[in-house]
Structure 1
Amino acid sequence: MTAKSAIQAPIQVPVDAAERRARRPVVVYPNGTLPAPDMTRLQEARATLEKIDEIIVSPREGGAFEAPKGHFFRVVSVEGPQVGDLNLWNAADLSERFFSGKTRALHATHVSVGDRLWSSLPHLRPMATITHDTLAWYGWDDDGAGLHDVIGTRCDPYTNRLLSGGDYHHCCHSNLTRALAGAKGLAFREAEPHVHDVLNVFMCTGFTRDTHQYFMKASPVRPGDYIEFFAEIDLIGALSACPGGDCSATHSSDAAACYPLKVEIFRPDMALLKDWPFPERSGYRNPE
């Protein structure tokens, strides 16, 4: 008996319980009709990359960057095992932002090369395409964990106070808010509503088999590892170097060993992408 079942009165198991449990699963969003990126062309463009900018995100802090349409950007481990929380927005319209839930539904709980980061409704278009991942070898481990998840929300000071009773000001939510506020010249309270659920870069996560709770474990990321994206629209991004370090034990604290992360921006030979089908906003229009 689980702890949850112990809080209600006993119920009678129906005679067809086994039959009901044995029903065949059906994928909610079959993705065979998704517009697929031309990965061959993107790989050709990668061979011409010229680095034009970079930022260093300090441990337990956040940083903002711009990635113009048609450019590539990387999140890079530089000193030690460190995970990061990534937010993306349309550089010209903060109401269009990364939609982690829909990305999860269209692709998977964890993303890698060939998967795309989709934007919020009513826009619903790919904001970025993952073009390289040095940790793609990891796959799924014996605990059912994988990397780069779109299931965690981000550590935040509100949940931290709810669970611990304490206040902590370097949660990823706070770091991302400060980064966006600084980049766009906004007050903290103006920027905060734009911060959203994240791509947990380098984070190793899954769900426990018994209680189905979200868990984290030590990330396999090492200095030199990176994940790379192709910007499908003009982007402003924010990255937090999570206060959990490699998330092997805790987060939202000063106890974990934390390291900086780097974001690099690259320009390809744009002639190779002169007719790239950069995505338009969704063509659906509500008739009401």
Structure 2
Amino acid sequence: MKIESMSQQPSRREIARNAKPMVCYAVENLPPKKGGDGLYASLRTAATDGNASLVSSLVIPPCDARSWEVPAGHIWRIVCSHGPQVADMNCWSLRNPHERFYTSKTRQIHSTHLTTGDRLWSNMPYLRPMATIIEDTIAYGFDDDGAGVHDVIGSRCDPYTHNLMTGENKNDCCHSNLVRAALRDGLNEMDVHDVLNVFMCTGFTRDTNQYFAKPSPVEVGDYIEFIAEIDLLVSASTCPQGDVSVACGGGGEPRTYPLTVEIYKPNEGWLEGWGWSSSEVSGYGGDHGLTCNIVVDGAPS
């Protein structure tokens, strides 16, 4: 029997380079949206069709952050109301702020950039839809540079990275804006987490695979709209970089604008008529394969 030498076998590097990409998570295997696709198509025009009414609104001033509560089943819209401006958004469960938006799992399940139909997933051990995007008027797709809009690949601009690179203390950034908002909400800096970069146009360079930004394509009147799948606390910062025409630390003075948030309440019984209900936490049992007694602090668990 002839045994081929190892040198004739392809190396692991060759195998990897020659293999076709495999999508890790099949979106079609996700639990279906409650109420079905028909409901979520109708949600896109719920306000204009008279199926939802505006109940409150607020303005996020330039270079600042504001928070708002969204009951399960309500809709919120972030509107480009004054001029081209991007925002960094956080979400928490209103009843339990330990449950919060999980950008990396959302990215794994959906895409680097989110749009209509994508869901915002919460962190483990909860791992459930917190919200679903029901409308995205920009609908940018991906351009020739590989850039898209509404990314979950970058984080918020922050004073720690700025200090690391320049030695300067700089507080006009999205992280600091969100920290101030969190403190007003009874939270703290540790509750601020990676964001959905609303309206931001970003990607990775082809040659060095570095994160880049381009001027946002958002125009006055554009908006992104969500339905809350659970009771939520939402917070967003109007980025001091404005529409990100100027790179962070790149010189020049960005022009910044307010953004408007609108909250809509669906008509009584309309969602339930479609079979909609709030999402449930993960059904995983949570034993993590721990089938034997474990000693914790000197006592068996």
Query: Could you tell me the TM-score, scaled by structure 1's length?
Result: 0.89
Asked if 1:181 corresponds to 2:183, the answer is: yes
**Equivalent residue runs for 1:100-249 within 5 Å:** 100-136=103-139, 138-182=140-184, 184=185, 186=186, 191-249=188-246
**Equivalent pairs, count:** 269
Contact 1:83 1:247 in 2 (8 A): yes
Residue in 1 that maps onto 2:55? 52
Give the Cα separation in 1 of the matches to 2:107 and 2:158.
21
Q: 1:267 aligns with which of 259, 265, 279?
A: 265
Residue in 2 that maps onto 1:281? 281
Question: What letter corresponds to residue 272 of structure 1 in structure 2?
Answer: W
Question: What letter corresponds to residue 21 of structure 2 in structure 1?
Answer: P
- Cα gap change, 1:49 to 1:148, in 2 (>3 Å): same
Question: What letter corresponds to residue 181 of structure 1 in structure 2?
Answer: L
Contact 1:77 1:221 in 2 (8 A): yes
Give the Cα separation in 2 of the matches to 1:23 and 1:43.
37
Contact 1:39 1:114 in 2 (8 A): no
Question: Secondary structure at the residue paired with 1:104?
Answer: helix
- Cα gap change, 1:120 to 1:20, in 2 (>3 Å): closer
Shift of 1:22: 1.1
Q: 1:39 aligns with which of 17, 26, 37?
A: 37
Shift of 1:42: 3.1
Question: Secondary structure at the residue paired with 2:104?
Answer: helix
Give the Cα separation in 2 of the matches to 1:268 and 1:277.
13
Task: Compute the RMSD of aligned alpha carbons.
Answer: 1.7
Shift of 1:170: 2.0
In structure 1, stretches of 5+ residues that fail to align are 1-13
Shift of 1:254: 8.3
Shift of 1:36: 2.9
Give the Cα separation in 2 of the matches to 1:282 and 1:56.
35
Give the Cα separation in 2 of the matches to 1:76 and 1:247.
17
Contact 2:137 2:224 in 1 (8 A): yes
- Cα gap change, 1:26 to 1:50, in 2 (>3 Å): same
Shift of 1:77: 0.5
Question: What letter corresponds to residue 32 of structure 1 in structure 2?
Answer: E
Question: What letter corresponds to residue 172 of structure 1 in structure 2?
Answer: C
Give the Cα separation in 2 of the matches to 1:121 and 1:19.
33
Residues 183-224 of structure 1, C-alpha deviations (whole Å, 9 max, x = no match):
x2x3xxx51000000000000000000000000000000111
Shift of 1:172: 0.6
Question: Secondary structure at the residue paired with 1:112?
Answer: coil
In structure 2, stretches of 5+ residues that fail to align are 1-8, 291-301
Q: 1:22 aligns with which of 18, 22, 36?
A: 18
Question: What letter corresponds to residue 21 of structure 1 in structure 2?
Answer: R
Contact 2:246 2:252 in 1 (8 A): no
Shift of 1:177: 1.3
Question: Secondary structure at the residue paired with 1:240?
Answer: strand
Shift of 1:19: 5.0
Contact 2:102 2:120 in 1 (8 A): yes
